Amino acid sequence: MKLEHYLDNQKEIIDKYLDIYLPKEDEYPGIIHESMRYSVFAGGKRFRPILTLASASACGGDFDKVISTACSLEIIHAYSLIHDDLPAMDNDDYRRGQLSNHKKYSEYIAILAGDALLTKAFEIMDKEVVVDVAKAIGSLGVVGGQVVDMQLAKENLEISLPLIEYIHTHKTGALIAVSCKAGAVLSGAPGNIVNAIKIYGENIGFAFQIIDDIFDNDGYTALVGESEARKSAMNFIERAKKELVCLPKKNREILVELADYVASRTE
């Protein structure tokens, strides 16, 4: 199957399950459920849950065992975007071409929708990966990356390569890496494979954010220029793919294709 079809197909499956896991709009108090669903279903590539499912499949895992965790990682991602857009953070009026959650529903609803999404994610994820996910998104992970990014934006910190690397590995890389790792853990993969898939995730996570910086002409690109940034992203993709040699060739194919997709993506 061509990658494009694979991605569309996985997205469709993930959306079907997200619809099952999230409370319906008519559940009281409806406004919070409407707001949660608005952000989860307002587009999005579903890249993190796709990685969880792909890592599980590369490790011979069972779809039924991983789908709730895969969806929980997308729900965490949706939460992070809602809070990232808030006036106290990036103050963005639009996300994915539509009004951001606080613009559509008010600030207090957007904060609570984020809180409820994060809580829902921990309700549905497999208990075996709760600690890994909590560590990846807390103050030593995504939150830490967001703090330093906010300091850079609001407190005139001097931009430098180590600072950008910290932000990218924490704010973006940590959730992508744990999305990959969770798929391996829940498939009962041995420690060396779990570790390789986690490092794969860290590398594609870094490359993913560098490509985002190229789109936005900021961050890494602002420091080193577009051509260096692209080279650097390619290096991380190659490093990611090298980690997969511990998997049989047939099993690693989809992860290799997803790594290449990160470098070539246009959205």
Binding residues for ligand GRG, rule: CB under 6 A, are 43-45, 47, 76-77, 80-81, 83-84, 96, 137, 142-143, 146, 171-172, 209, 212
Residue nearest to ligand GRG (CB): 44
Shortest distance in whole angstroms from residue 81 CB to ligand GRG? 5
For residue 38, give the nearest of 78, 73, 8 by alpha carbon: 78
Tell me whether residue 96 or residue 242 sits nearer to ligand GRG (CB atom): 96
Shortest distance in whole angstroms from residue 246 CB to ligand GRG? 27
Encoded tokens for 166: 């910290």
Tell me whether residue 137 or residue 180 sits nearer to ligand GRG (CB atom): 137
* Residue with token string 């932000």: 167
Asked if residues 176 and 206 have their Cβ atoms less than 8 Å apart, the reply is no
Encoded tokens for 22: 């999230």
Shortest distance in whole angstroms from residue 234 CB to ligand GRG? 18
Helix (H, G, I), strand (E, B) or coil at 99: strand
Q: For residues 247 and 240, give the distance between their C-alpha atoms in angstroms, rounded to a whole number.
A: 13
Shortest distance in whole angstroms from residue 35 CB to ligand GRG? 16
- At 94, which helix (H) or strand (E)? strand 94-95
Tell me whether residue 183 or residue 193 sits nearer to ligand GRG (CB atom): 183
Shortest distance in whole angstroms from residue 227 CB to ligand GRG? 21
Tell me whether residue 58 or residue 137 sits nearer to ligand GRG (CB atom): 137
Tell me whether residue 43 or residue 248 sits nearer to ligand GRG (CB atom): 43
Cα–chain center distance at 63: 19
Q: For 44-68, b where at least 16 C-beta lie within 10 A, e where not — what string? A: bbbbbbbbbbbbbbbbebeeeebbb
